[in-house]
Amino acid sequence: MMGKRAVPHAPVAPKARGPIPAEAGIGLRFRHHQEVLESRPAVAWFEVHTENYFGGGAAPACLEAVRREYPVSLHGVGLSLGSADGVDRVHLERVRGVIERVDPGLVSEHLSWSAVGGAYLGDLLPLPMTEEALEVVCRHVDQAQSGLDRRILVENPSTYLQFRHSTIPEWEFLAALARRTGCGILCDVNNIYVSAANHGWDALTYLDALPAAAIGEIHLAGHTVRELEGGRTLRIDDHGSRVAPQVWALYAEALARFGPVPTLIEWDTDVPALEVLQQEAAHAAASLQASAGRYADAA
């Protein structure tokens, strides 16, 4: 059960939450703000990085305007749930402030750490998969859900190294986190594919270990392949291209296991025209529609 709010807040006028539909949305980036407000494109929902909308100014005002027309999800990158330093209460309160202004349908964060000694390192760093680390992350997820007064989703990472002393497979770590805290899972299918390729994991084993009832959102994105010495390759999750065919295939496997789930197209580097993102979302929408049909037939 979630605890009481850590800090009192002024009453906020109730609004419809605007749940995120089990359809394909796109990540809203700054270069598309004005176009979205002016053209009101046919997009099911938008997701933004929470920290980009702290404070006042043009960006939060734009987000509030978009929120009046579309469901919105908040995707955080700064809570550092895996940090040994603990949850930054000031940062948590700033996240809460965006939630109260926007009333998002979903709120998510990453299974990673990015802060130590009060310094933010500007990256989503991997954790050792140990029981000790699991206890730390569970404690911080509990604190975040209590402080935000709502359930959050936690996203699986993309990784390029593994700690020798890890004792828990990443998929079991994530499933245990959801079971112990009641949080949901943001299943990033591209991240699963990238990490599985980099470490020699079986991506289907990863999907099979995730509790279907906990899956609240799916992410899809592009990645690059870097050739290393000795004929080895490294896949890098850079969100800078179209979704790879292998990731689309793994997405179909995810939908077969989890059913239709709100799905986001992420694109953060070399951001293209809005039309390109809509094309990728249309591809995801076709898969979602096929998945919904299979579930209807089975009912």
Buried-state track 126-161, b at ≥16 Cβ within 10 A, e below 16: bbbbeeebbebbbebbbbbbbbbeebbbbbbbbbee
Check residue 298 and give its pLDDT: 65
* Structural Rg of the chain based on CA atoms: 19
Check residue 3 and give its pLDDT: 37
- Domain assignment present for 250: yes
- Domain assignment present for 129: yes
- Domain assignment present for 236: yes
Let me know: does 247 contact 235? Beta carbons within 8 Å: no
Question: How are beta strands 106-110 and 153-155 bridged, if at all?
Answer: parallel
- Domain assignment present for 1: no
- Domain assignment present for 8: no
pLDDT beneath 50: ranges in the chain:
1-17
- Domain assignment present for 134: yes
- Domain assignment present for 16: no
Check residue 243 and give its pLDDT: 98
Torsional class of 145: left (φ above 0), alpha (ψ -120 to 50), beta (otherwise) = alpha
Check residue 14 and give its pLDDT: 30
Check residue 23 and give its pLDDT: 98
Check residue 74 and give its pLDDT: 98
Q: Can you give the CATH number for the domain in which 55 is found?
A: 3.20.20.150
Q: Which domain holds residue 65?
A: 24-298
Q: Domain count of the chain?
A: 1
pLDDT tens for 117-161 read 777 777 788 899 999 999 999 999 999 999 999 999 999 999 888
- Domain assignment present for 151: yes
Check residue 297 and give its pLDDT: 66
